[in-house]
Amino acid sequence: MVLTEIISKKSEISTGTAQFFIASEDFEFEGLPILKDSLVYYDGNSSVRVNMINFGIFQNGLISANLPKNGINYQVDRLTSCELEIDELGGGDKGIWHKDHFDYWQGDFDEYIARINNIPILEYSEISFSSLMYHFNPLTRTLVDFINVLPLKIELNQSSILLPANLYCISYPFTLYFPVNKTIKYFNVSLKSYLTLKDTGVLQGANAEQFSAQILGHSKLKTIHISKETLLYISSDGKIEIDLFNANTNKVEKFQIVKSEDEGEQSAKTWMGRLWSSLMGD
């Protein structure tokens, strides 16, 4: 069965009624841009999902025919030579709509980086995000899930922070962020895996690259080697903290660290120092 023959086509969302359709042309809903050929699901209330859809939607009676099934999987006709196209849709899985078919999604965007870099960029509420997929709450008029393709400024009560580009933002602004390219640089520290942002402006995430650092305020330790996977807490002004045991209080507490210069930076400064000294005749 061909999906484009059983999913309706339209170019508007009527509030208050659940709808599932392919956009017949570009349009906007509550200021949110939606491009032609996008797949749109609106639950009739607080959720508009574009292009990333849970396949359970096909049991909700929103299409003109029932899809055939192989066990718990829905079966569809294969239409293209796209390497990511799937013809079995797992009932509990999600897929990414690609003009006229679903592409496989395994929970990250490794295989979509080239596409993200080449498809249109959309704008909403001063956020530049990928048209690959996004989720919008029309009641609050806010983006919920999206991929930011430019740095993302977030205003907090006492400060503002600037997150790097290419994050998969989930339950924006204060829940999870996944680097699309696996790692990001934030205040000269590489972070990986999922990141969490607190309303205090602290970004918490796992370290992606080993480095040495000085420890401030610890009674015994002065330097430390920060291994991969170490949990880092980075404030909006770039202060880095880690969890360490404090023998004086017999508790695990947060201590500020200062990243040491890497060998390349140290060598460059040493070389420049020697050159300066020779020029000055020291």
Which ranges in the chain belong to alpha helices (H)?
A: 3-6, 113-118, 263-280
Spatial contact of 210 and 219, defined as CB atoms under 8 Å apart:
no
Q: How many CA atoms lie within 13 A of 185 on its CB side?
A: 2
Spatial contact of 78 and 87, defined as CB atoms under 8 Å apart:
yes
Spatial contact of 73 and 88, defined as CB atoms under 8 Å apart:
yes
Each residue's pLDDT expressed in tens, for the chain with a length of 282 residues: 899 999 999 999 999 999 999 999 999 999 999 999 999 999 999 999 999 999 999 988 899 988 999 888 999 999 899 999 999 999 889 999 999 999 999 889 999 999 999 999 999 999 999 999 999 999 999 999 999 999 999 988 877 899 999 999 999 998 899 999 999 999 999 999 899 999 889 999 999 999 999 999 887 778 899 999 999 999 999 999 999 988 888 899 999 999 987 544 444 344 444 544 554 455
Question: Cα(189)–Cα(109) distance, rounded to whole angstroms?
Answer: 22
